[in-house]
Amino acid sequence: MRKTIFFFLVILWASGVGQAWAEPPDQRRTLVVGTTLLEPFVMKNRDGVYRGLALDLWAAVAQDLGLDYKLVELDLADLLNAVKTGGVDVAVGPITVTSAREKEMDFSHPYFHTGLTLAVRNHLVQGWRETFKHLFSSRPMLVLLAVLVGLVLMGALVWLAERRANRQQFGDGMRGVGHSLWWAAQTLSSVGYGDKTPITLPGRVLAFVWMMISLVLVSLFTAVITTALTVNHLNQVVRGIQDLVDVRVGTVAASSSETFLAKHRVDFARYPGPRDGLKALNRGDIDAFVFDAPILQYIIKHEMTDGIRVIGKTFDPQDYAFALPNQSPWRKAINTALLRAIHGEPWRDAIYLYLGDDAVPQAPMAEP
């Protein structure tokens, strides 16, 4: 008899718990929605109004469910921490679903499929800047200064030796000094025309010494210039992810791209946001910047059209989703409304508006 009563009570308790979990959450409560600024998914205009691909989608979901909410702006690391601790009810933005994050929070169904990409400086524009920067660096300038000093000094000495015995070719006064400098420059470049030739013994000795010095100076100058241009070329060779281990790389702190680079043992610098990293790339502080493809493409297209470009296809495929605290009572309702939203024509129109025709997913085939 006691066993029968015990099992009856257990069944009643389980039924009550199941009914409690099946009940929808209190829709009268105002949700706290966390977000982080990452164009074109989350943006804020000068009037403080938020918009963007992810926020427009969330607005459609909230309208479908009749939810009231308030937005809280956080950086990416703080946003993820707020989700883990329950500080926000939902995190909206280009939040990548990863296995590590899945252990600490829940995710909605994915709403956007993408991957990482690689941004580098546009060498057609930046290459000339880098070339001139290396050409006019300290070492080439020191060698050039040594060449000019030697040319002036040897021209003056030859003029002193030839000015009386060889007036016709070297002459007196400033005109003769000019002829001597012209002869020294011809000899230095090894293209002497023979129009100026020392005839005195001191002059010919000086000419012989200058010929030997010229060989050294020209060889040294050529080597320095070649080295500078070669270093510049090597710094620019970033054709894909296989080259990342040999160059200076940057990414956004606490992002999935940071996890990717750490996994592949690539040394990298951390930046607060993608715009900070792209500016560092444009300055030449790094050689490549790795981050989510649609975000980099949007910023480069609208703000950095001349200096930076994206190379190659996307790698490390990723899915964006809304993030929720573990065991969130809102997950099922949000997923249902989210699926209705992303399979509708307005969602395709929104993707076209923010990212262009190439990013619009193909319409699903009708079920038979």
Which sequence spans correspond to the domains of the chain?
A: 21-114+319-359, 120-124+237-315, 130-236
Fold match between domain 21-114+319-359 and domain 120-124+237-315: yes
pLDDT in tens, 266-283: 999 999 999 999 999 988
Residue 143 has pLDDT above 90, yes or no: no
Lowest mean pLDDT among 167-171, 288-292, 308-312, 329-333: 167-171
| Level-2 CATH architecture, domain 21-114+319-359 | 3-Layer(aba) Sandwich (3.40)
Domain 120-124+237-315 belongs to what topology?
D-Maltodextrin-Binding Protein; domain 2 (3.40.190)
**Averaged pLDDT, 138-150:** 80
Could you check whether the bond before residue 346 is cis, i.e. omega within 30 degrees of 0? no
Closest CA to 309 of 168, 120, 144: 120
Residue 304 has pLDDT above 80, yes or no: no
Decide which of 3.10.100.10, 3.90.1150.10, 1.10.287.70, 3.20.20.70 is the CATH code for 130-236: 1.10.287.70
| CA 363-366-367 angle, 5° bins | 140
Report residue 170 as tokens: 């070297």
Looking at residue 252, what is its pLDDT? 94
Q: Beta-carbon neighbour count of residue 169 at 10 Å?
A: 16
Lowest mean pLDDT among 40-44, 61-65, 141-145, 317-321: 141-145
| Structural Rg of the chain based on CA atoms | 35
| pTM, two decimal places | 0.62
Looking at residue 80, what is its pLDDT? 95
